[in-house]
Amino acid sequence: MKRPSRDSGESLRGISRRALVLGAAQFGVMGVLAARMRSMQVEEAEQYRLLADENRINLRLLAPSRGLVFDRNGVALAINEQNYRVVMVREDAGDVEDVLQRLRRLIPLTDDDIARAIEEMARHSPFVPVTIADRLAWEEMARVNINTPALPGVQAEVGLSRAYPLGSDTAHVVGYVGPVSDFDLSRIEDQDPLLQIPKFQIGKTGVENKLERILRGSAGTRRIEVNALGRVMREIDRIEGTPGNDVQLTLDAALQSYVEARLDGESAGVVVIDLENGDLTAVASAPTFDPNLFVRGISTKDWTELNENPYRPLAAKAVQGTYPPGSTFKLATALAAIEAGVLDPEETVYCRGYVDVSGNRFHCWKPTGHGNMNLHESLKQSCDCYYYEICQRVGIDLISEMAVRLGLGQRHDLPLSAIAEGLTPTRDWKLKVRGEDWRIGDTVNASIGQGFVLASPLQLAVMVARVATGRQIIPRLIRAIDGVEQPAASDEPLGVNENVLRRMRAALDAVSNHTRGTAYGSRIAADELRLAGKTGTSQVRRITQEERDAGITRNEDLPWERRDHALFVGYAPADAPRFAIAVVVEHGGGGSTVAAPIARDVLLQAMYDGPPPLSAYPSNIRSQIETLQERIQQRIAPGSSSSGRA
């Protein structure tokens, strides 16, 4: 049937519209393609010509600048210094050995340097730059730059290298960086491509290690054009990396340097805590070492000296070392007995110089005995027999429980290497670890901080800080990250009766300020800054009855490694505590004669925020102190650093 003419017209008009739409779409697509072709052939022609011309465009990573580390007052503890170095890209070099031989005519390179460089290049992708030499002088850098046409694949670069302005004074806290090793790669889950760059440096110890991701930053990139010989012709573009975050520590650099200088000649650890917020203002270990040696590549001679030194300069004794706490542990024993209700602070115990327990004789440090002792007198004069008696009433488990509440036997959460947990033993611990039943003699030994009990200077500082404040002081080392203040941990009440703590503080005050106190010789003369604390002397050898009968050998007559450890824990001012301190001197002898004077001097330095006046000391030792202060000030003068005993 024939369609009406009107229907045919409408059909033709519909077809025409569709054809126009389709045509317009095709024209638009062709226009876009034409525009893109023009862009590629005209505007981006140079770039694609270079990409097609023997793949001469290389993409290389740019290491970011590492975050800086400062003390609480803005003093730089870890910085980045400009460093001239020479790198080589294997795929651009051609005959690597020939190029290296030419390079050694311009800069000092040994056969070992060349062998190491060849080995390193063989271990990495051919396009990865390998450092051939660094820390070059400007003249050496210039010689390489001038001769780059004859050194394919070789580039002279300006980079950054880590440096530690205070040297050894902060080595155990800040730590140091070093090149990424195969061992590092095996234990780091981090897949950051920066770690694949030969000689890229990461934190090895201390804050540098524990805050590595915060300090490292993220990589940038740059695209460079090289010619057929591998010479860099130009940089096409560059995207800078993100620098690492700066970190501010709670340390007081001036106080830290003072402590290291004060410990000169000793093997010791000292920790100072700001009682307002738990900030660690000094964490010192002696002897110490120069971390810059590790950054630059430590020599065999220096490494051997550090490792063979019997005073162990590489050990962070303040947080890593654990020692029998000696009489400082009596604080935990007494508080446990009082809280358990088995001891009245006014009750007296008679000391005759020894106590017989289960067929064994346990001696007081004073052979003739102290007579009748209550809590106050037992702490002031450090009577051992008092604690031999009360510990049998309370038992080791409750003593250990109190010690943990005071901060012992636990690993405090700080960004430092190898923080020790210490040991507060219990019956279950001995059965599990030693396979033996606990004995009453073990409790007697533990009551005065001997036997199985172990604590670090950090833990002892926390213990006395909690006694001084009645709060669960939590130590803090990081003050701010990238300018953002880090909150101090909120400390809860210690949970010990305040009247009992007041009695204990009065006794600790008497230790330093009563003529019969064990630390009276180390008192502070300024009454408003009085020192309160507890001395301790821990044995590292067993004294036999035969030796007692013949006369106990004096510490100074023994080999160094067989002498007693000297300890002191304390705080000041006694009436309004601001700082707490713990001092442990390895094989130092008596806590009253060796550790207490160090604690006094450090606390005065902290309270005066600098050298204290001689009037703060008893008149009979002021000339001696003046000489000591002069020696210390010479040691901490700008450009010097504490290295400890050789």
| 623 included as an active-site residue | no
pLDDT in tens, 199-248: 788 999 999 999 999 999 888 877 777 665 555 567 777 788 889 999 99
**From residue 252, how far is each of 168, 169, 363 by CA, in Å?**
15, 11, 42
Instruction: Please compute the mean of the pLDDT values over residues 265-287 and round it to a whole number.
Output: 97
Question: How many whole angstroms separate alpha carbon 491 and alpha carbon 470?
Answer: 10
Within 90-152, strands assigned E span 129-134
pLDDT band at 44 (very low <50, low <70, confident <90, very high): low
pLDDT at 26 over 90: no
CATH fold of 253-559+567-635 reads: Beta-lactamase (3.40.710)
Q: Tokens in use for 416?
A: 């430092």
Q: What angle do CA 136, 137, 140 make, to 5 degrees?
A: 80
Condensed to tens digits (0 to 9), the pLDDT of residues 484-501 reads 999 887 789 999 999 999
d(CA 618, CA 599): 15
Q: Indicate the pTM of the whole model.
A: 0.83
Provide the pLDDT for residue 403.
98
Local confidence band at 544 (pLDDT 50, 70, 90 cut-offs): low
Type and span of the H or E element at 135: none
Average model confidence (pLDDT) across the chain: 88
Domain 64-69+82-163+182-249: state its class: alpha beta
The reported pLDDT for the residue numbered 121 is: 84
Q: What DSSP assignment string belongs to 6-61? A: HHHHHHHHHHHHHHHHHHHHHHHHHHHHHHHHHIIIIISHHHHHHHHTTT-EEEEE
For residue 346, give every residue at least 6 positions away whose Cβ sits within 8 Å of its Cβ, in sequence order, or none. 374, 375
Structure confidence at residue 644 as a pLDDT band (50, 70, 90): very low
Predicted pLDDT at 573: 98
pLDDT at 194: 81
Q: What is the pLDDT of residues 332-372, one digit of tens each?
A: 999 999 999 999 999 999 999 999 999 999 999 999 999 99
Question: β-strand 268-274 against 247-249: which pairing, if any?
Answer: unpaired
Amino acid letter for position 335: L
Q: Count the Cβ atoms, other than its own, within 10 Å of residue 575.
A: 12
Domains of the chain: which residue ranges? Answer: 64-69+82-163+182-249, 253-559+567-635
Cα 508 to Cα 590: distance, rounded to the nearest angstrom: 17
Binned at pLDDT 50, 70 and 90, residue 6 comes out as low
Q: When comparing pLDDT for 556 and 608, which is higher?
A: 608
More confident position, 18 or 277: 277
> Mapping DSSP to helix (H, G, I), strand (E, B) and coil, where does residue 386 land?
helix
Q: What is the pLDDT of residues 152-184, one digit of tens each?
A: 888 787 778 899 999 999 999 999 998 887 777
Q: What is the mean pLDDT of residues 439-447?
A: 97
Q: Residue 149 corresponds to which tokens in the numbers above?
A: 């046409």
Among 267, 327, 382, 642, the active-site one is: 327
pLDDT, position 646? 32
> What does the pLDDT average to over 418-445?
96
